[in-house]
Structure 1
Amino acid sequence: MALFRLPYSFPSTLPSFFPKILLPVPSFSISCSSKSTPNQLKNNDDNSNSDNPKKPKRLSEQSSWEAKDSEGRDYLYRLGKEADNMNIAVGARAGVIDDLFTGNFLGKDSDIVFDYRQKATRSFEYLQGDYYIAPVFLDKVACHIVKNYLAHLLNVKIPLILGVWGGKGQGKTFQTELIFQAMGIEPVIMSAGELESDRAGEPGKLIRERYRTASQVVQNQGKMSCLMINDIDAGLGRFGNTQMTVNNQIVVGTLMNLSDNPTRVSIGQDWRESDITNRVPIIVTGNDFSTIYAPLIRDGRMEKFYWQPTKEDIVNIVHRMYEKDDISKDEVVTIVETFPNQALDFYGALRSRTYDRSISKWIEDIGGIENLGNKLLGRKKNEELPVYTPPQQTVEALLESGYSLLREQQLIMDTKLSKEYMKNIDD
């Protein structure tokens, strides 16, 4: 850039043909550069103000959006920090990001898993048929749910968590799901496998997110909801010399905090006075709650319910299970009395075992195991599988399957290969 300065007057020695009276010529600057624009030509008055740059234009003189706090952060920064959505979970949606990246080939909403994210609850359309719900179980679960929804009207301390525990295979989860279907509840369900992670703090945050999701179902859809955690003792229980991880401690602390403050749940954002979470009950299932941290299961935080179905409950549940096979209730009583002290899933395994022979015959009918892959997966689009005829259920076939299952149970107890493989286990 080169600057040229012209004097106020011309030199004193001028040719004779110039007039004697000369007017003063104001000086000005010429900025020469490779990219000169009209805005770069300024007079001396503009240059005199260059030392005092103008302040950025505000949105409004009366707006507080740009007001800075003591740390120099404006309102928009604080608003984003207090937002519930701490993750980028909106995907390529029109109006959220630049439309250039949205495209039209997938539609304006091109996030292929957005619908899945919005459907975090569990529905039970697959539970078709007439199932039996034990009255004691129904009364306990329904009472706990209703008490939590009426907690603000009751002048008593209501435990947030209901712990349903008992022997393996007794139908704790299935009975609870039947109650959810009957009451029109859309729960958010977690498993013990989600209570651990390779990142510290993730399971605790996931529990808070799932709890808030259940609360949003109540607020946005007008439906009852709850948070259910299956087999919680498998994820939080202490067995022998097993080591407790940081995530185990955070999950326990998170559940204890939810029990004490069910309407103030943060997933990482700053607290807001208006951010009130709807109280929703929590239901957990397990086999042995004595392995769980004692302050979590104390009275006031968790209400315990031991589920051990009576003989009448077992007969009614199994009868509904076999009702489609034309097995009478008296025949069900015979089967239950033949195999006493068995869990409910044992009688479901009886029915499944009776299908083995008919499945083997069906494999032979389609050409043997060599053609099994092509028939199941390699068939054409409109080609149907060969017709499979289910077996005719009889009491004799069910009893035969039951004795076979008993022999396998006894064989495991007698062999105890774990001690053979780990001979130093008692050392």
Structure 2
Amino acid sequence: MSYYISPRFLDKLAVHLAKNFMKLPNVNVPLILGIHGGKGEGKSFQCELAFEKLGIEPIRMSGGELESPDAGDPARLIRMRYREAAELVKVRGKMCALLINDIDAGAGRVDSTTQYTVNTQLVNATLMNIADNPTNVQLPGSYDSNPIRRVPIIVTGNDFSTLYAPLVRDGRMEKFYWKPDRSDRIGIVSGIFAPDNIPQWEIERLVDMYPDRSIDFFGSLRSSLYDEQVRKFVYEIGLERLSLRLVNSTEALPEFRPPSFDLRTLKEAGDRLLAEGDRVSQRNLVEEYMPVGKVLR
């Protein structure tokens, strides 16, 4: 399957990586590139496609690794992963990067009800220290006087205003707001439906039908079209035998014929998904259960 890489996205990532492996005279190059934007717009996936295009295998982390029952563990892990990336540059002789996905989920502070822990402080302080001294990153309890290779850090998130302000300041972090325009959306959705041979004009109509939905919506839309065939298989096998058939059977996994991908079918499925999503927004039960404090949308 051929996926679409946004030229704007690829350009921003490639330039940031290149600048960090160059020696520009009297130029302070930010170590961190922060890619932020709405949920489900494909920030992490575009990063992966761009890395593949550039022939780079990054060291990956997620926001879920930025908290721990033990104080200091996430900060230590960041230092270890950064040094691992620097070692890969030395051993493989090609660029590498540290990629931290959903950083605001692990290190951000949404409102006054969000607990601000020692680990949150240490993660922010560690990233600031690495951004200021990228060739002198030490592990706790040891000291290595030999400088390591500078390795750029890429972080993704939805809302960087929840992060510690000194971390996102100019000079440490370069910011890139990712909101795919119409041409990007058409290119990405064309990649999602590439195996289905949908005419280009139908892809464009489909994108224009749901201009406010995220890119993930179209992936869920394609997946939902297989529901009827999966449902038929489930009841043909029987609910009691389903687990055994799918997990512990000598038979091959079932294969399904491609469903109808005509525009009317896509619109019907899309409207169903839209209605389910709207029900979540309309319930507002959190305001009933948590009347005190600000409820974020």
- Superposition TM-score tier, normalisation by shorter sequence: over 0.9
RMSD, aligned CA:
1.5
**Aligned equivalent of 2:91:** 220
Matches within 5 A, 1:27-426: 129-150=1-22, 152-241=23-112, 242-273=114-145, 275-365=146-236, 367-380=237-250, 383-423=251-291
CA distance in 2, matches of 1:262, 1:362: 55
> Residues 56-89 of structure 1, C-alpha deviation per residue, up to 9 Å, x if partnerless?
xxxxxxxxxxxxxxxxxxxxxxxxxxxxxxxxxx
Q: Is the 8 A contact 1:188 1:228 kept in 2?
A: yes
Q: 1:264 to 1:386 in 2, by over 3 A?
A: closer
Q: 1:260 to 1:385 in 2, by over 3 A?
A: closer
> Residues 10-63 of structure 1, C-alpha deviation per residue, up to 9 Å, x if partnerless?
xxxxxxxxxxxxxxxxxxxxxxxxxxxxxxxxxxxxxxxxxxxxxxxxxxxxxx
CA distance in 2, matches of 1:229, 1:218: 18
Residue type of the partner of 1:302?
A: M
CA distance in 2, matches of 1:408, 1:272: 55
Q: 1:198 to 1:179 in 2, by over 3 A?
A: same
> Residues 166-201 of structure 1, C-alpha deviation per residue, up to 9 Å, x if partnerless?
111111110010000000101001000100111111
Q: 1:187 to 1:386 in 2, by over 3 A?
A: closer
Q: Is the 8 A contact 1:164 1:304 kept in 2?
A: yes
Give the unaligned 5+ runs of structure 2. Answer: none
Aligned length: 293
Q: CA deviation at 1:131?
A: 1.4
Q: TM-score, normalising length from structure 2?
A: 0.94
CA distance in 1, matches of 2:289, 2:143: 54
Q: CA deviation at 1:271?
A: 3.1
CA distance in 1, matches of 2:178, 2:255: 41
CA distance in 1, matches of 2:133, 2:213: 41
Q: CA deviation at 1:393?
A: 2.2
Residue type of the partner of 1:232?
A: I
Q: Is the 8 A contact 2:196 2:258 kept in 1?
A: no
Q: Is the 8 A contact 1:170 1:345 kept in 2?
A: yes
- For the residue of structure 2 that corresponds to 1:304, the secondary structure is strand
CA distance in 2, matches of 1:233, 1:405: 27
Q: CA deviation at 1:234?
A: 0.9
Q: CA deviation at 1:153?
A: 4.3
**Aligned equivalent of 1:62:** none
Q: 1:225 to 1:360 in 2, by over 3 A?
A: same
CA distance in 1, matches of 2:172, 2:106: 19
Give the unaligned 5+ runs of structure 1. Answer: 1-128
Q: 1:227 to 1:401 in 2, by over 3 A?
A: same
Q: 1:392 to 1:267 in 2, by over 3 A?
A: same
Identify the structure with the greater helix proportion: 2
**Aligned equivalent of 1:56:** none
Q: Which has the higher contact order (CA 8 A, sep 6+)?
A: 2
Q: Is the 8 A contact 2:75 2:122 kept in 1?
A: yes
Q: CA deviation at 1:423?
A: 4.5
- For the residue of structure 1 that corresponds to 2:240, the secondary structure is helix
Q: 1:425 to 1:298 in 2, by over 3 A?
A: closer
> Residues 191-239 of structure 1, C-alpha deviation per residue, up to 9 Å, x if partnerless?
0010011111111010000000000110011231100111111111111
Q: Is the 8 A contact 1:190 1:230 kept in 2?
A: yes
Q: CA deviation at 1:374?
A: 1.9
> Residues 231-281 of structure 1, C-alpha deviation per residue, up to 9 Å, x if partnerless?
1111111111122111111111100000110000111254343x2110010
CA distance in 1, matches of 2:182, 2:139: 46
Highest CA radius of gyration, 1 or 2? 1
- For the residue of structure 2 that corresponds to 1:369, the secondary structure is coil
Q: Is the 8 A contact 1:358 1:390 kept in 2?
A: no
Q: 1:368 to 1:301 in 2, by over 3 A?
A: same
CA distance in 1, matches of 2:70, 2:149: 28
Q: TM-score, normalising length from structure 1?
A: 0.66
- For the residue of structure 1 that corresponds to 2:184, the secondary structure is helix
Residue type of the partner of 1:395?
A: L
Q: CA deviation at 1:417?
A: 1.9
- For the residue of structure 2 that corresponds to 1:180, the secondary structure is helix
